[in-house]
Amino acid sequence: MKLLETVKLGNKTLKNKMAMAPMTRSRADIKGVVGESTILYYTQRVSAGLIISEAINISEQAIGSPFTPGVYMREQIAAWKKVTEAVHDNGGVIYAQLWHTGRVGHSLVKNGAVPFAPSSIGIIGQQHFTMEGLKDYETPQTLSIKDIEQIITDYKQAALNAIEAGFDGIELHAAFGYLPNQFLADGSNQRDDQYGGNDENRNRFVLEVMQAIIDAIGSDKVAIRLSPTSTYNNITHQNLVTQFSSLINELNNMPLAYIHLMNVPFPADKFPHYPLNSIDTFGKLSKHTVIANCGYTKATGEAELEKGTAQIISYGTLFLANPDLPRRFELNAPLNEADRATMYGGKDAGYIDYPFFNNQ
């Protein structure tokens, strides 16, 4: 089975071609510090060839949702160090996914500060979870050039902090409508300066962040997650194929560990110009290792690897509910079902209490 074969990733050899996808679990404390349960949560899933952490806020400004972790304060770094040490002690490899939510937040979660974005265009048709329940999105503040420069500096420092905390590498969360994705999409980026107006300019923020992180921590330890066809959080593109083709061609010039592509379903009748398969369309353009994501099963993951475009398959919900997922695939064992009611927030139920398979 290809899924269970070893694979080289950067300077690491992974035990299999199965990655645990990043999943927000909202189990940090109000200060963004992870606890003992998080140590166990990741250690339980150490049979994944690669663990990609839940999204981690790079600064206080970056926070979008309550109880999400950070890596910008000493207490946060120290807490993550306990996680990475436990993962490494059990033979695992773990990358940190760095997060700035941009407009996907609310002032009730940000100590009264209105979120920032590339342009003052709010999200409509969705609501945001706050400590006071679901709220309509606010119109964000437009980032100045000085603001953008500071955020790039924040990404660089967060990457250094994550390496100090023991992570093996960094994945930039440039998917699912968060800040880097907001810069990429003309539906959310209507700037007329060097960060907007055409493909090259809309790509600029992501490329500058990636280069800053590479400069900070070195080659073959930096990666990126992209969701070209996702329309979540009001993300739309007029020229999606040319936009992301140009971006990936630029990323090919960087010494990256991998590109993590989400093959997100979308309403084809509303977006007839979108490609039906992001892995086929954009994965083939990448010179780097490709991790394919979004709804894969054992069979479809194996089939994707057989095609040859992707070298690793990432699993989200299946790893959430099955901490020993590679073993279950190997034995063709039944799978636990995820409890969606406990995915976000709460305590240990639905977090560290999913049973391992016992075939004795």
Q: Judge contact between 79 and 37, C-beta under 8 A.
A: no
Q: Cβ distance 214 to 156 under 8 Å? A: no
Please provide residue 116's backbone torsions phi and psi, each rounded to the nearest 5 degrees. Answer: -105, 155
Q: Of the residues 155, 178, 274, 296, which is catalytic?
A: 178
Angle at 344 between CA 343 and CA 347, to 5 degrees: 90
Q: Among 234, 229, 24, which Cα is nearest to 129's?
A: 24
- What's the CA gap between 56 and 172, in Å, rounded? 10
Rounded Cα gap, residues 3 and 298, in angstroms = 8
Please give the backbone phi and psi of residue 7, each rounded to the nearest 5 degrees, phi first: -155, 145
Q: Is the distance from CB of 313 to CB of 17 less than 8 angstroms?
A: yes
155 is catalytic: no
SS3 of 57, please?
strand
E strands in the chain: 7-9, 12-14, 18-20, 50-57, 94-99, 116-117, 127-130, 133-136, 141-142, 169-173, 222-226, 258-262, 290-293, 312-315
DSSP 8: E
Own/partner contacts of 83-86, CB < 8 Å, gap of 24 or more, are 83/34, 83/38, 83/39, 83/42, 83/43, 83/165, 83/166, 84/165, 84/166, 84/167, 84/168, 85/166, 86/39, 86/40, 86/42, 86/43
Tokens of 351: 């977090």
Mind telling me the catalytic residues?
A: 178
